Chains A and B, each alone.
Chain A
Amino acid sequence: MNGKQYYLDIFKVSESQLKTLTDTALSHGGDFSDLYFEHTTFFNLLLKDGVVSSGGFHTDFGVGIRVLKGEKTGYAYSENTEMSDMLQAAKAASAIAIGTCGAREYMSVNDRVHDLYPVQRNWRDCSAETFLPFLKDLEKEIFSRDPRIIKVIARMSDSVSDVMMFNSLGELTCDTRPMGSVTATAVFQQNGKTENKTASRSFRIGAEFISKDLVMELADEVVRGIDERFEATRPKGGQMAVVMGAGASGILLHEAMGHAFEADFNRKGQSIFSDKMGQRVCPKGVNVVDDGTVAFNRGSGNYDDEGVPAQKTYMVEDGVLCSYLHDRISASWYGVPSTGNGRRENFRYNPIPRMRATYMESGSADPQGIIADVRQGIYVDEFSNGQVKIGEGDFTFFVKSGFLIENGRLTAPVKDINIIGNGPQALADIVAVGNDLKIDNGTWTCGKEQSVPVSCGMPTVLISSLTVGGE
């Protein structure tokens, strides 16, 4: 990890200037102020029609300045770190405190140091030339797997963010956050029908991520289940038992409970879980976690974007709601320590409570036994997007593939169906939890006001009733 002088040099500021900026930001009586400096470099390559004929890199640089007065926020940013421009932004943000009553104490946080994503090979030291063979190999490997493939689209991207945070409590924290992502899509044709399958991997990791093993892993996944995809139909819709396959089914947790547990919604009374702290929300034995400490995970960070060290937060322990996901504002409002969930898309945005890696811990049930216990229902294992209405608790997620379950056996493949449910009801309807927790390492991105990378995971879980779209 780099020392603080590395970051001060990048942003061309001194520690005394940082202090001047937070003092200026508090000049109208704010309770707390913080600075978020960011320098991010992005790189991407796209292979289509056999040629890597598109790519580029992008640079983003700036500082965001926030002032809190009570729970009220003033926010401004500058795209350069000239002192005069930063002071102007600090003054703009400071105005939130003018004529505003109420005060709140913002507490210092401990300084546990993580090193969750040590880098062997820095992305910034690599050129396009390094990655061209990888994309060509990936395309070749995928084509070699199935004669029905007519197109392969492969893309890779990386980013490295240097981040320096300073606040009016005098805390200075710095981090360099790498991210590597690869996505491969194959288009198949069979008897005049077209289908496509996509596989992706994304980690906070260095360029050592790009490897032959990754080629094989993605190629395996892209072709897996394509026969079923061609055969798949849409089931008869209605309410039925749903078995969520291990891994990407974690989208259920993200939509059905994760958002509703974000403390900003609860502080404002808007969440369906606002008055359920300490109450049973799932059957006994169920543990649901939001974790910022999973090494190399896409949702992890050594610190959150408010300088709070990464943590593993139990939201539900033994079925009981035990914590919301807090940023500094909600933590102060509730009088609890921040859970390290204050995140933002970049320096242009103020941080708000966001998920990291959200998953359910393994239970004791045998996954095959879970399926065997279902007389009629549906098994789902591949998803695209989801959504939730916070107040009502109604959530949906889109299923790209799965199977009917008939008399305890997987039978006809199904595809392209939406599933809808109500958060508290769905959680109460969890009947069995498998012993096979799997974190999905795809390119999940959450879009609550701002886009941030996340991940999710789940063991095989049976929910006794959800509404499944169908003919």
Chain B
Amino acid sequence: MISNNEIHIAKFCIESALRQGASAARASLTKSIIDSSMMLNGELDKVTHSADRSIYLYIYADGRYGTFSTNRLVENELEDFIRKAIEMVKMLGEDECRRLPDAERTAADAQTGQELDLYDRCIRDSSSTGRLERSRQLSRYGTLSTGSDEDGFICMPGETPAFRLISEECEYTESLEDNYVCDSQGFEGRHTETSFSAFSEMTIEDKDGNKYSGFWWEATPKFSELDLSECSGKALEKAVRQIGPRPRRGGRYRMVVDCNAASRLVSPLFTALNASSIQQKMSFLDDSVGKRIFPKGFTIMDMARTVGKAGSRLFDTEGVATRDCPIIEDGVVKQYFVNTYMAGKMGLEPTIEDISRPCILPYLEGEALPLAEKGLSLEGILKHCGNGILVTGFNGGNCNPATGDFSFGVEGFAFSRGRVTHPVREMLITGNMIELWNNLIAAGTDARSSARWQIPSLAFEGVSFSA
């Protein structure tokens, strides 16, 4: 945890900057500890310990601005570092829009860092022995190996084909991140967050020597909420389900995207809603605020202040207070992400600099679906859609920020009459973001509660697949 002495160092940086000629300054001190224990094929493979501490300085002088960072937190070195920083800032071009946010917009309720209940004190009692034990708990290598036949092949219950386990990698990680921000207007904010996470990746081989891999992760701010028992099993299931892909002809299909992959289709929207993209003419959502760009009933909220949930935060990097608010509501774009600088450049009201914890509300064929009314699972969406392709992962691709034209590699399964039939791979989807989202059929209620982005499974009509 950040000590009083380190808070003193951050404040010293502000004082030093002002004393040496800055008109305003902000300091952001981050301290983190990460411990990981990794297993390969049931045996300990790697143990790592990371302990970082650095300070980021945002310095304003003579209408000019620069950013500087160092992990050398010794006062006499910092004094010299800041002197050189201010010298450099004064060489840069003048830009009157560079300034701190209005003080009344900064968060006043982030004093201890623990207001959002994202810190688990049990991390203080953590030990390398405990971490090793948890990584061992993740492994299923021993059980699987003993269940194999004399050629090393394993048969799972049900109709899945036999496979050989090539490798199992499991990782258990604990981390603590503590961030303290202060500025020359008197703002002080703190955010403290722990994370306990598990990751498993399985690589298998079928009887023809073809390899398949699958991974799964779990993560939570509270250790007691972490479930280690299913991680490797789910990774294995994901690998095994891919055995025996069959070609699928290109064409237009209904596309269902599993909640574990769906954020890939959402992130271009947030990039396009960033004022910096719009100001640089690199956004396909230019001039969209207040307009119904997306289908009626479609809503994305920023639930930045949800207590106890990863991704929540009370302030952004400028110290501006976050709020729970709609970004897109009933298909209408409600706001851009506008930081103080962009507000000045574009003559807009400042908002927040970026989304914190996006949440897509349930949706079905042109209607918002009240959350309390009915759950909508992946199975329910597949049933509703009948036939098409279920995308469970993306493989490369990109989205043109100026036009919204995208092309992504995908992998997944063909489905028919609401049931998965066979795996597909080496396929591509191509289209335009705005057209894609206007062909939204459904957004489920199955977003993973542990995810920072609350993106459920999604379904779209008439997506162009190439194969």
Q: Are A53 and B65 neighbours in the complex by a CB distance under 8 Å? A: yes
Q: Are B427 and A467 neighbours in the complex by a CB distance under 8 Å? A: yes
CA distance A153 to B279 in the complex (A): 12
CA distance A467 to B397 in the complex (A): 13
Closest Cβ–Cβ distance, residue A251 to chain B (whole Å): 10
Chain B interface helix/strand/loop/mixed: strand
Q: Are B211 and A270 neighbours in the complex by a CB distance under 8 Å? A: yes
Bits for A303-331, please: 1 = Cβ < 8 Å to B, else 0: 00000000000000000000000000000
CA distance A49 to B341 in the complex (A): 13
CA distance A57 to B203 in the complex (A): 43
Identity of the chain A residue whose Cβ is nearest the Cβ of B401 in the assembled complex = A196
Q: Are A53 and B430 neighbours in the complex by a CB distance under 8 Å? A: no
Identity of the chain B residue whose Cβ is nearest the Cβ of A46 in the assembled complex = B92
At the interface, yes or no: A194 with Cβ under 8 Å from chain B?
yes
Identity of the chain B residue whose Cβ is nearest the Cβ of A348 in the assembled complex = B50
B425 surroundings in chain A (CB, below 8 A): 392, 394
At the interface, yes or no: A421 with Cβ under 8 Å from chain B?
yes
CA distance A398 to B398 in the complex (A): 6
Bits for B24-63, please: 1 = Cβ < 8 Å to A, else 0: 0000000000000000100111111111111000000000
At the interface, yes or no: B408 with Cβ under 8 Å from chain A?
yes
Identity of the chain A residue whose Cβ is nearest the Cβ of B209 in the assembled complex = A275
A74 surroundings in chain B (CB, below 8 A): 46-48
At the interface, yes or no: B72 with Cβ under 8 Å from chain A?
yes
Q: Which of A92-100, A201-209, A335-343 contacts its partner? A: A92-100
**Which listed residue (B53, B85, B408) contacts A418, Cβ 8 A?**
B408
Q: Are B47 and A96 neighbours in the complex by a CB distance under 8 Å? A: yes
CA distance A120 to B467 in the complex (A): 52
Identity of the chain B residue whose Cβ is nearest the Cβ of A234 in the assembled complex = B430
Chain A stretch 184-200: residues in CB contact (< 8 A) with chain B: 187, 189, 194-196
Bits for B166-205, please: 1 = Cβ < 8 Å to A, else 0: 1101000000000000000000000000000000000100
Contact A72:B45 (CB < 8 A) given known A56-B88, A58-B70, A127-B88? yes
B48 surroundings in chain A (CB, below 8 A): 73-76, 350
Contact A237:B464 (CB < 8 A) given known A52-B92, A392-B213, A396-B396? yes
Identity of the chain A residue whose Cβ is nearest the Cβ of B98 in the assembled complex = A53
Q: Are B95 and A195 neighbours in the complex by a CB distance under 8 Å? A: no
Q: Are A55 and B88 neighbours in the complex by a CB distance under 8 Å? A: yes
CA distance A393 to B88 in the complex (A): 48
**Which listed residue (A78, A79, A418) contacts B397, Cβ 8 A?**
A418
Q: Are A268 and B85 neighbours in the complex by a CB distance under 8 Å? A: no
At the interface, yes or no: B94 with Cβ under 8 Å from chain A?
yes
At the interface, yes or no: A60 with Cβ under 8 Å from chain B?
yes
**Which listed residue (B52, B282, B402, B426) contacts A467, Cβ 8 A?**
B426
At the interface, yes or no: A382 with Cβ under 8 Å from chain B?
no
CA distance A77 to B52 in the complex (A): 9
CA distance A187 to B403 in the complex (A): 12
CA distance A153 to B425 in the complex (A): 38
Q: Are B88 and A396 neighbours in the complex by a CB distance under 8 Å? A: no
Bits for A108-131, please: 1 = Cβ < 8 Å to B, else 0: 000000000000000000011100
A398 surroundings in chain B (CB, below 8 A): 396-398, 407
Closest Cβ–Cβ distance, residue A184 to chain B (whole Å): 13
B210 surroundings in chain A (CB, below 8 A): 392
Contact A54:B406 (CB < 8 A) given known A79-B53, A237-B466, A270-B167? no
CA distance A406 to B88 in the complex (A): 55
Identity of the chain A residue whose Cβ is nearest the Cβ of B58 in the assembled complex = A56
CA distance A20 to B397 in the complex (A): 49
At the interface, yes or no: A150 with Cβ under 8 Å from chain B?
yes
Identity of the chain A residue whose Cβ is nearest the Cβ of B68 in the assembled complex = A56
At the interface, yes or no: B411 with Cβ under 8 Å from chain A?
yes
Q: Are B407 and A51 neighbours in the complex by a CB distance under 8 Å? A: no
Contact A418:B407 (CB < 8 A) given known A48-B280, A53-B92, A391-B211? yes
Chain B stretch 208-223: residues in CB contact (< 8 A) with chain A: 210-213
CA distance A243 to B203 in the complex (A): 33
CA distance A161 to B147 in the complex (A): 51
Q: Are A418 and B430 neighbours in the complex by a CB distance under 8 Å? A: yes
At the interface, yes or no: A379 with Cβ under 8 Å from chain B?
no
B68 surroundings in chain A (CB, below 8 A): 56-58
Residue of A73, A151, A420 with highest tally of chain B CB at under 10 A: A420
B67 surroundings in chain A (CB, below 8 A): 54-56
Q: Are A75 and B69 neighbours in the complex by a CB distance under 8 Å? A: no
Bits for B372-408, please: 1 = Cβ < 8 Å to A, else 0: 0000000000000000000000011110101101111
Chain A interface helix/strand/loop/mixed: strand
Q: Are B282 and A187 neighbours in the complex by a CB distance under 8 Å? A: yes
CA distance A195 to B405 in the complex (A): 12
Q: Are A151 and B280 neighbours in the complex by a CB distance under 8 Å? A: yes
A153 surroundings in chain B (CB, below 8 A): 280
At the interface, yes or no: B325 with Cβ under 8 Å from chain A?
no
Q: Are A420 and B395 neighbours in the complex by a CB distance under 8 Å? A: yes
Identity of the chain A residue whose Cβ is nearest the Cβ of B43 in the assembled complex = A72
Q: Are A384 and B398 neighbours in the complex by a CB distance under 8 Å? A: yes
Q: Are B166 and A397 neighbours in the complex by a CB distance under 8 Å? A: no
At the interface, yes or no: B428 with Cβ under 8 Å from chain A?
yes
Q: Are B398 and A95 neighbours in the complex by a CB distance under 8 Å? A: no
Contact A389:B213 (CB < 8 A) given known A75-B46, A128-B92? yes
Closest Cβ–Cβ distance, residue B298 to chain A (whole Å): 25
B242 surroundings in chain A (CB, below 8 A): 392
Closest Cβ–Cβ distance, residue B282 to chain A (whole Å): 6
CA distance A257 to B35 in the complex (A): 33
CA distance A78 to B51 in the complex (A): 7
CA distance A44 to B98 in the complex (A): 17
At the interface, yes or no: A470 with Cβ under 8 Å from chain B?
yes
CA distance A396 to B406 in the complex (A): 14
Closest Cβ–Cβ distance, residue B197 to chain A (whole Å): 15
CA distance A469 to B89 in the complex (A): 46
Q: Are A52 and B93 neighbours in the complex by a CB distance under 8 Å? A: yes
**Which listed residue (A49, A55, A268, A389) contacts B40, Cβ 8 A?**
A268
At the interface, yes or no: A422 with Cβ under 8 Å from chain B?
yes
Contact A392:B467 (CB < 8 A) given known A75-B48, A418-B407? no
CA distance A422 to B166 in the complex (A): 20
Closest Cβ–Cβ distance, residue A265 to chain B (whole Å): 9
Between-chain CB contacts (< 8 Å), 22 pairs: A49-B345, A53-B64, A57-B85, A72-B43, A75-B46, A79-B71, A96-B44, A128-B88, A129-B91, A234-B407, A268-B167, A270-B166, A270-B203, A387-B409, A390-B213, A391-B211, A394-B426, A397-B396, A398-B398, A420-B396, A420-B427, A471-B430
Q: Assuming A238-B250, A415-B405, what are 18 further A-B pairs, CB within 8 angstroms?
A: A51-B95, A59-B71, A79-B53, A132-B91, A153-B280, A194-B281, A194-B282, A195-B402, A237-B430, A255-B396, A269-B166, A269-B203, A386-B396, A392-B213, A392-B425, A398-B398, A467-B426, A469-B429
* The 3 nearest A-B residue pairs measured at CB: A237-B466, A396-B396, A469-B428
